[in-house]
Structure 1
Amino acid sequence: MRQVLRQHPALRDDIGDLTTRRPLPSRDLPQLDPFLFLNHHGPQVYAPGNHGLPFGPHPHRGFETVSFILKGEMAHLDSGGHESVIGEGGIQWMTAGSGLVHAEISPESFKQSGGPLEILQLWVNLPARLKMTQPSYTGLQRADIPAIAVPGGTANLISGDFEGQKGPYASLTGVAMMTVELEPGASLTLPAPSARTVFLYVVAGEPVVGGTACREAHLIELDQDGDAVEVSTHGPVTLLYGHADPIGEPVVAHGPFVMNTREEIHAAIQDYQAGKFGAIAG
């Protein structure tokens, strides 16, 4: 069984009126290869007549973004012509690849009526061979995601294999990802294939992981010894859990671009400024 090495707190870094905490990257953990970045927005309640999410049109190249809508809803538009509104329990998985412009905003109905909002936004790196792949987007509603019963709770399987089932999203790099909702007194074992990087973020509650008491809103860094993770609970717990093969390549990041070299970053900026990423219609 894998053991806890360190716990990394999600530090407060609000974006306008959007409550935001970030455990990755941090001073002690610049990346968790291939996982690059996690923002935890909310939980909070928006009043009626709000301005909604602040993520207007912006570019990306060289990696993937995964948004988990835990509460509320979020609209997606991009320069590839993809458009959707994903509700509570759904996810948005976008492969930026060679480059596109996207916006993650609140639909008009949410801005008018307000309500609760909680969203996780994860960046997953792509290897050099896939950084210039064709951009793509998949939006999954809660009903599209298998809810698998586990001892004392539910695992919502987004990608990869678990308990004989396959997640609805086929990751380009074999990333396995799920959210796990546990009741008090739960005890379960999650797969952590050897040589893979495990991503475990405590969204809510205080689980015991590998015998170590873990804190809410902390990214749990695990060792490499073992092929499974034991989790137990005293109170209710929500986890973001996944695993992936490390890429092991240089990472050069500049704002919304993640490449392998400075030259590739300069090329991304030039291509974006030249309009090669396209634009959002309307």
Structure 2
Amino acid sequence: MTYKTIRRVHAAMRDDIGDLITQRPVPGPQLDQIDPFLFLNHHGPQVYPAGNRGLPFGPHPHRGFETVTFILDGLLAHRDSAGHESIIGPGGVQWMTAGSGLVHAEVSPQEFMQRGGPLEILQLWVNLPPALKMTAPRYTGLQSDQIPVVETPDGKARLHLVAGEYGGATGPFVSLTGVFMSTVEMQAGARLHLGNLLQRNVFLYVVRGIVRVEPDSVTAFHLCEFEPDGDEIEIIAERDSLILLGHAEPIGAPVVAHGPFVMNTREEINEAIRDYQAGRFGAPI
């Protein structure tokens, strides 16, 4: 067994959306994707005042990939053209397969806009292989108490298992492509080991704190890009930390993106635009 090593550490770039604090580590100036992980927006942390306008993500279309949204703090209301609707609170997760196309809105519920409060959200885009680009859309939203928590052997880390298997537990979200996904709370000195990573790309983003992946220290708002070799990693918390941690087999197909559509060719993008304009992405919301 050999450990994966870090090729490069990428800082998140500040790109606020109105009054929503936003930082984005991928895509960035030196990193297009960590196949199949395409995009990550880190919104907040910030505190909204009472009487706020809420999140700005009104109805908009997607095709060809999945969104995984982690509500670290605050409330997030989801509604889409396939009829799904939910309000998810702190610690909850939304997993949406856009597939062949839908329109969704991610906004703040009335309660949050009236009262205000803290907000921090991560949204990750996960690509789909060519054979699944046009799969039927689906959505699952789960609250924090529906997501299993697994402690590491040293008792100093808590892994919130979203998808995949760890420590005898199985995450409640079923990935179409075998993606492992979690958030991990780590006390200073905690150690987390993952194996069976041969030919899988690791996605490691530090939300808070500082972690070490020998010999590198990685601070908050930074994303690790790993070398492809190796089949295990060990993460050590230098301070109390929170990380977003996933891994998956790379797809290796061409990526052609245009705003909210991610396909394999320019013609497929043009077709997505035509279908959306023709109202083929489901019922209006």
Q: Which residue of 2 aligns with 1:172?
A: 176
Q: Which residue of 2 aligns with 1:257?
A: 261
Listed as ranges, the gaps of 5+ residues in structure 1 are none
Q: Give the Cα separation in 1 of the matches to 2:206 and 2:238.
A: 14
SS in 2 for 1:50: coil
The one of 269, 273, 279 equivalent to 2:273 is 269
Q: Give the Cα separation in 2 of the matches to 1:188 and 1:109.
A: 38
**Equivalent residues of 1:42, 1:118 under 8 A apart:** yes
Q: Give the Cα separation in 1 of the matches to 2:107 and 2:74.
A: 12
**Equivalent residues of 1:71, 1:118 under 8 A apart:** yes
Q: Give the Cα separation in 2 of the matches to 1:163 and 1:126.
A: 27
Q: Give the Cα separation in 1 of the matches to 2:214 and 2:263.
A: 35
Would you say 1:197 and 2:201 are equivalent positions?
A: yes
**CA 1:118/1:191 → structure 2, altered by over 3 Å: closer, same or farther?**
farther
1:190 Cα deviation (Å)?
A: 2.4
Superposition RMSD in Å: 0.9
Q: Give the Cα separation in 1 of the matches to 2:186 and 2:74.
A: 21
Q: Give the Cα separation in 2 of the matches to 1:134 and 1:273.
A: 19
Would you say 1:228 and 2:226 are equivalent positions?
A: no
1:24-43 to structure 2, matched below 5 A, reads 24-43=26-45
Q: Give the Cα separation in 1 of the matches to 2:251 and 2:211.
A: 29
Q: Give the Cα separation in 2 of the matches to 1:67 and 1:181.
A: 17
> With structure 2 as the length reference, what TM-score do the two structures score?
0.97
2:92 alignment partner AA: G
The one of 152, 159, 175 equivalent to 1:155 is 159
Would you say 1:89 and 2:91 are equivalent positions?
A: yes
Listed as ranges, the gaps of 5+ residues in structure 2 are none
Q: Give the Cα separation in 2 of the matches to 1:212 and 1:192.
A: 22
1:65 alignment partner AA: T
Give per-residue Cα distances to partners, 1:209-244, cap 9 Å, x unaligned: 133111210011111222211111221110000000
Deviates more, 1:190-199 or 1:234-243: 190-199
SS in 2 for 1:264: helix
Would you say 1:74 and 2:76 are equivalent positions?
A: yes
The one of 218, 221, 231 equivalent to 2:222 is 218
Identity of aligned residues (%): 62
Q: Which residue of 2 aligns with 1:145?
A: 147
**Equivalent residues of 1:65, 1:95 under 8 A apart:** yes
Q: Which residue of 2 aligns with 1:112?
A: 114
The one of 181, 186, 190 equivalent to 2:190 is 186
Give per-residue Cα distances to partners, 1:24-77, cap 9 Å, x unaligned: 001211111101000000000000000010000000000001100001110000
Hey, which bits of structure 1, 4+ residues long, moved more than 4 A?
none
The one of 235, 240, 247 equivalent to 1:243 is 247
**Equivalent residues of 2:157, 2:192 under 8 A apart:** no
1:195 Cα deviation (Å)?
A: 0.3
SS in 2 for 1:171: coil
SS in 1 for 2:225: strand
Would you say 1:51 and 2:53 are equivalent positions?
A: yes
